[in-house]
Structure 1
Amino acid sequence: MKRFRLGVIINPLAGLGGSVGLKGSDGVAEQAIAKGATPRAQQRMQQALDVILPFAHQIDIITASGDMGGKLCRQMGFTTQDVYISAVSSGANSTSALDTQQAVKCLFGHHLDLLLFAGGDGTARDIYAVVDDSFPVLGVPAGVKIHSGVYGITPHASGVVVSMLLQGELVSLMSADVMDIDEVAFRLGIVKAKQFGEMTVPAAPRYIQAVKMGGKEVDELVLADIAADVIESMEDELYIMGSGSTVAAVMEDLDLDNTLLGIDVIQHKSVIAKDVTAQQLLALTADKTKFSSVKLVITLIGGQGHILGRGNQQLSPELIRQIEKDNILILATKTKLKALEGRPLIVDSGDPELDKALTGYYKIVTGYHDYVMYQVANPDLVEN
């Protein structure tokens, strides 16, 4: 039987800026590391490859050396061939976009069946610059911002799609948008998304994420009603206010300065910390004598349904474990929920066990004293 030739590329810098509030990793890797960020792309790719590990006997992995893929794949027991020596392996401080592009060019000459890559929108752009729409690819989400439609909804879901191919299931191909935003503007709270082209991905809509819906919520009255409901219930707790325009409406009604694309903390209806990092959040929530409990206020990404793991990596698994499930407040307009067409909300914290614990039905605040019950899923249950 012909062995499946799987190309694997990891952007080792992907997602570095998320936990430290930098809203991205492009051009700020050293700054992120100085702030205490730790790489997560290896872990994300491992979660995807774990799904196909039972099929290792029928897979040949073609990859780049070291942290760009070879080291992880070899450690996991896959038959691995390194066809590109990364800059880090050659003595450089870090890899670059040029490394990604050069690696893909090298992999292309080895008759791949699929290219699996871990990164964010910048990585997708780098790969598109070489691949265009001529070859099937699939992304493992590891970046801070994931607007492109070439990624699985979670790392586990990306692995499931590859396993479908390995088991001979009929998986068609479809075109998906490669999107990216201006990170400099993004750090100033301005979202400027642009389509750069399309790549070909396995057509498994249940597992492949939709392109993020952009634009400001037009129904201001609904947002005001949601805000009124949240504010009415506020007591002496510590409130961690997530990113996004729906949560921003609560801050606006409180007349508080808001970090649209970051995380703020309020107590007694006053801001006590702005645009915080993951470590700052853990420090703020450590002293239980200063508050009765901690509540997390979050919303979903329109079109995708993610509530954790997209643009809010400051909300670390360690923090979420401290917050009881009942203290997670999810805000959403019914328009956004209907746009999901029945697909569940997604948690992708980076910790599969935590994601599994967070599954279930949640009361979603959709207006003033108006709620709906909606399912939250996790990578291990997506395929059920």
Structure 2
Amino acid sequence: MESIGVVVNPIAGMGGRVGLKGTDGKLEEARRRGAEPRAPERAREALRSLHRRAPELTVYTAAGVMGERAARDAGYEPTVVYDPATVREDDATDPARPGDPANAETTAADTRRAVRALLEHDVELLLFVGGDGTAVDVADVLEDTTTAETEQVAATPRDAAETPMLGVPAGVKIYSSVFGVTPADAGRIAAEFDRVEPREVNDIDEDAYREGEVRTALRAIVPVPVAPDLQSSKQVSSGSVDSLATGFAREVEPGRTYVFGPGSTVGAIEAALGIDASPLGVDVWRAAADTEPDKTDSERDSDGREGTVLARDAAETDLLEVLAEPVTIVVSPIGGQGFLFGRGNHQISPPVIRQADEIAVVASDEKLDGIDSLHVDTDDEELDDDLRGWQQVRTGRFTTRMMPVS
């Protein structure tokens, strides 16, 4: 490969740590909550990985934080083929916004325009940084399905649908199978791949997601580089976890603080404890110091353990305010992908994880059967290294399995 196109969605993932479960239509709210961009740093990580392996590669990209800065920081001298500020200045219907694109509402139209400009230079791979929404924007251009806009679509040297795309994970929700497991993996795959295969681009309705409902939709089938470190599509499973939840609830430790991650498996545990869970949010609950020893286990199972909800659908700042030792973080791996941290639960950030003395992983055997290993991607390399190894996973009332974390 001699050339690559790079496009960064600079606002991707900003809603994660502040509890918004996505950034689509929520950018200003994310900023009000103190959200910081994460996509530019993940772009730099991916491009540094790429530069170590392919320093002579010709890089085409968009201006500023949409790719140029990350490419220069990685050691490349990129060719800028699209500048969102210039487009806005020239387009009376899309007024220019002053300052850096990271401080303005960089739109899906910017991503699509940048991709079209990259395709005009016959790039051999489109490396994008974002989440499922960004993947949809890139795929729309590759398949030439976004024709309703008034933009002029220039002819490209190769059939756009044949150009492979590869994602650097930066969004809150990542259901598609077009992403590297980590940014560094994406850079390595971009440098070393020698064939492609069709992969799914999926997306969900973020408004429904914020209300606790997952509505997934297959948006495209696109060519993607083949590699072991390419994540799978997320599987949404609904197997019974009642036994697992009952067993966990019976063993809660008096006086311990529990951080419950999103998902139906963890939600079943919260239900067994009598907690009104936020289905796709993060909740904090502290078990009472005295769990009424005169009750039998069956009575406790039916009535729920005594305790106090300290935070519901919490952002990172909420978690840090209410945590008090000892702390257990309860998470379930994403079905089909195996992520424990870094996908859909960014509120459970490195500072939160470091306050915990225990991480409890729960999953049904059915879910684990579709996962080769568990993964972590916290934006903190040292913490990721600490979390790797072997992890015990509770699968039932009394049963566990050991799974590798990579």
Under a length normalisation based on structure 2, what TM-score does the superposition of the two structures give? 0.85
Structure 2 counterparts to residues 49-60 of structure 1, below 5 A: 49-60=47-58
Say if 1:56 and 1:79, in contact at 8 Å, map to a contact too: no
The one of 107, 113, 122 aligned to 2:124 = 113
- 2: CA distance between counterparts of 1:57 and 1:138? 19
Q: Which residue of 2 aligns with 1:43?
A: 41
Q: Which residue of 2 aligns with 1:140?
A: 168
Q: Which residue of 1 aligns with 2:313?
A: 275
- 2: CA distance between counterparts of 1:14 and 1:115? 17
Q: Which residue of 2 aligns with 1:156?
A: 184
The one of 336, 342, 352 aligned to 1:319 = 352
- 2: CA distance between counterparts of 1:212 and 1:352? 24
The one of 264, 268, 274 aligned to 1:249 = 268
- 2: CA distance between counterparts of 1:119 and 1:78? 21
The one of 224, 227, 248 aligned to 2:242 = 224
- Amino acid in structure 2 at the alignment position of 1:283: E
Q: Which residue of 2 aligns with 1:187?
A: 210
Q: Look up the SS of the partner of 2:212 in the other structure.
A: coil
The one of 381, 388, 392 aligned to 1:352 = 381
Aligned-pair CA distance for 1:147? 0.7
Q: Which residue of 2 aligns with 1:207?
A: 229
Say if 1:59 and 1:79, in contact at 8 Å, map to a contact too: no
Q: Which residue of 2 aligns with 1:330?
A: 361
Structure with greater Cα Rg:
2
Q: Where does structure 1 lack aligned partners over 5 or more consecutive residues?
A: 166-170, 378-384
- 1: CA distance between counterparts of 2:2 and 2:351? 38
Aligned-pair CA distance for 1:50? 2.0
Q: Deviations over 1:259-298 (max 9, x none)?
A: 111100001233121000011111212xx4xxx4010000
Aligned-pair CA distance for 1:57? 3.2
Q: Which moved more, 1:223-232 or 1:107-116?
A: 223-232
Q: Does 1:96 align with 2:107?
A: yes
Q: Does 1:303 align with 2:336?
A: yes
- 2: CA distance between counterparts of 1:57 and 1:252? 53
Aligned-pair CA distance for 1:360? 0.8
Q: Which residue of 2 aligns with 1:382?
A: none
Q: Where does structure 2 lack aligned partners over 5 or more consecutive residues?
A: 90-95, 98-103, 144-160, 288-306
- 1: CA distance between counterparts of 2:48 and 2:72? 13
- 2: CA distance between counterparts of 1:201 and 1:129? 15
- Amino acid in structure 1 at the alignment position of 2:374: L
Q: Look up the SS of the partner of 2:168 in the other structure.
A: strand
Q: Look up the SS of the partner of 2:135 in the other structure.
A: helix
Aligned-pair CA distance for 1:86? 1.8
Q: Deviations over 1:330-366 (max 9, x none)?
A: 00111111112xx210001111221111101111101
The one of 400, 403, 406 aligned to 1:371 = 400
Change over 3 Å in CA distance of 1:270–1:224 after alignment to 2: farther
Instruction: Count residues in correspondence.
Output: 356
Q: Deviations over 1:310-336 (max 9, x none)?
A: 100001111112223xx0000011111
- 2: CA distance between counterparts of 1:12 and 1:279? 22
Q: Look up the SS of the partner of 1:57 in the other structure.
A: coil
- 2: CA distance between counterparts of 1:87 and 1:188? 35
Structure 2 counterparts to residues 60-71 of structure 1, below 5 A: 60-71=58-69
- Amino acid in structure 2 at the alignment position of 1:183: E
Percent sequence identity over aligned pairs: 39
Q: Deviations over 1:124-183 (max 9, x none)?
A: 111111112321110001000001111112212111212314xxxxx2210111111111
Say if 1:87 and 1:99, in contact at 8 Å, map to a contact too: no
Q: Look up the SS of the partner of 1:177 in the other structure.
A: strand
- 2: CA distance between counterparts of 1:35 and 1:17? 9
Aligned-pair CA distance for 1:213? 0.7
Compute the RMSD of aligned alpha carbons.
1.5
- 1: CA distance between counterparts of 2:196 and 2:55? 25
- 2: CA distance between counterparts of 1:159 and 1:272? 41
- 2: CA distance between counterparts of 1:121 and 1:310? 11
- 2: CA distance between counterparts of 1:24 and 1:339? 26
- 2: CA distance between counterparts of 1:75 and 1:211? 31
Q: Look up the SS of the partner of 1:367 in the other structure.
A: coil
- 2: CA distance between counterparts of 1:157 and 1:75? 18
Q: Which moved more, 1:223-232 or 1:243-252?
A: 223-232
Structure 2 counterparts to residues 10-49 of structure 1, below 5 A: 10-49=8-47
- Amino acid in structure 1 at the alignment position of 2:400: Y
Q: Look up the SS of the partner of 2:219 in the other structure.
A: strand
Under a length normalisation based on structure 1, what TM-score does the superposition of the two structures give? 0.90
- Amino acid in structure 2 at the alignment position of 1:247: V
